[in-house]
Chain A
């Protein structure tokens, strides 16, 4: 069955970087995009962007351009989202999701990233 399993919770200092992984299985990795969505505590969903697992094309929401890098490693069917220059406002649960055109039925369990001094 399709699974997306994310890396564990992280605690970071302001100004640091974080890299969240999304290990996938149960499907042909390069047939789908990997989307990233985040959710601050008690808040709604925020779309961050996507990466085409087949050719590496990417699209980031303008808010995150310059601070976010999405990558994939097709050899281990894993997607990554790295964010730099973290601030407390980046404290959130970060989700990966599989899809074509939009996040679909299969999501990771979420990774809590806490930014605090």
Chain B
């Protein structure tokens, strides 16, 4: 299975700042089938980005995804208070699908 490694484990920033989260795959992700999810305590994950760079319906444009092959990035251009949460990358290009271990974005 493909191991996804996210960095950093924890990112401490302030509202208004720019956040850059990384996801590195142990091998090339086919078709850039890489998604990003946000999860807040007590809630189900929320899909933000799929196929590496396509925003899901209703996701604000301050969220953007980029990358290809083995290196992917989620960028939040200007942090809002509601953006502080856990973020997971997820590859679905190879079976079995796998998740990264997560990055905690904290104030």
User: What is A's interface to B at a CB cutoff of 8 Å?
Assistant: 37, 44-47, 49, 59, 61-62, 95, 97, 101-105, 107-110
Contact = CB atoms under 8 A, between A and B. Distances in A.
Contacts of A62: 1, 96
A16 to B, nearest CB: 25
A51 to B, nearest CB: 14
Contacts of B12: none
8 contacts: A37-B45, A44-B88, A44-B102, A59-B96, A95-B45, A102-B35, A104-B56, A107-B45
Nearest to A101: B92
Listed from nearest, the 6 A-B pairs whose CB atoms lie closest are: A102-B92, A107-B44, A45-B99, A61-B96, A47-B97, A44-B102
A109 B50 contact: no
A48 to B, nearest CB: 9
Nearest to A93: B44
A107 B35 CA distance: 15
Given A102-B33, A108-B44, A59 B95 contact: yes
Contacts of B39: 45
Nearest to B96: A61
Interface string B69-97: 00000000000000000001010100111
Interface string B1-27: 100000000000000000000000000
Contacts of A110: 44
A102 to B, nearest CB: 4
